[in-house]
Structure 1
């Protein structure tokens, strides 16, 4: 047969299922005359169905009346299986079997072949069904391509958001006596707590990305207060506390979910569970969950890190402070979640070590100092 009469551009996978060997022989012979068709025949409907479910065909031709399983039942199984749910099915019936045809249509039959089989009808209907299948596959391929493009575009957006987060966190780091390792540790501690609380993978990734922005508002605090080595006066501490509001206002206007989460964390991680924190004096579950989580992670790492104005606490002493602060400073559920992952806490602490130079030294270098 001429190439222009071929059913598809590629060889079509056609499955014929009929318990009569004469019908199988005839259909296979007629279809094999088409250069682009590879008919596979089954006289057992169960074997034919198993083949279709394992090797998705381009077209199924099935007889209605068969032992063990009728053509209508077979169609129902095909439609219930996602890979074969849209495969065209031609059912072979007698011309007077109107009720059978109605039932087959309800089951999902695409079209019919009338007994006795007419070669021209078989050729035309098969070709039409394969054209439908080819068009459906092209649409599916296009949908998959579009989905891939959307994933790539989304990944690019997330990468830009992550870069922005890193730059914002880095800006605060240059003006803060805390180190970049502190930001890494407390972010990973926060993710551990989120995991132990049963938060989704998406929420765990979100808090890991957003937690580093918790103190970004410190970029608005004067150096004389932010870098003061000694204890702050009441007036100075009142100014320092404004960093929570500054960070919130800096990040809130963004449409990016990670920056919105960062705004929430910046505003709420200094709240205390008993309502004695700042800036809003929220208590209990009125404090956003991300803020309650970061409060535990941030305080623990601040205690166990050396600063110009204090030595590092021991892990045991810091753990005791968290336990003693349950219900007053900290959400007891967040502390319990943190302590459940204690072995991983120590791994994170070892993984992210402080650099030898201080943030004050890095700031001096950035400004051109000696």
Structure 2
């Protein structure tokens, strides 16, 4: 498991001013300025494409070709989830209410994911990235990201951990269903939900509209296959987009007393690529920049990268960037190493 070296550690009192210096540079360059027109164009493209696919869905009718429609719609739903992510970070508008409206529409209504639950969970991740006992993204059953987690697994869970690297991407195919189930559970228990009646109503509308359209247009077998393909690819797309960000990067403990700048940079990984990859990954390929400045609008991340990368180089802070394939390989290598250590203790 990757660890943080002693040279990377430092007292917050000694290094806290470095982030303030970087923040002044970023703000001075106008990189925190909102880009509502750019977002309006993106929303128009995604919703327009979804509308076109709706027309195609109706015109095709009860056909097995609808599996292709399911695949395309899965990609568009993931793009809506990325927009909900940006709204949750207040990247789109300066007004919290306006961002929440976008988040509720993109999340609850269109993708079937509770916006309030996700924001609460994601904020905890940003506050303590890759930190044992604090980051919910490294406490994901049935995966084990540390030897300590792996050591507690018994029976079928222990068997899974030993083979978790091979099972990781197949497991992502149920991530969409997990997100839906977690959203419903959060609504029922009121955990992290500020606008519970609104969120519940929008989720009901999503489920009714989604299932109603599928079962009205398709035969029952076709409808079931459509849902399975759509949800599997939706989960796989989202999971494959999030996995490169932190999996396989250093995991921190309470003893790792890092300042904010190093905590965010050392636990994050960027993915190299052009504008197409930026669009496909929803800007999450600039994970370092995003974690340092969560409210930075997505269109500004690529412009902030050279400035932040140079700042890290000037202050001897490791800045990790690789290709998409390499990022997946590094994540799988970490899971494989944890699984191997679990096997050696049996």
Normalising by structure 1, report the TM-score: 0.24
**More strand per residue:** 1
Normalised TM-score (structure 2): 0.25
More contact order relative to length (CA 8 Å, sep ≥ 6): 2
- Structure with bigger helix share is 2
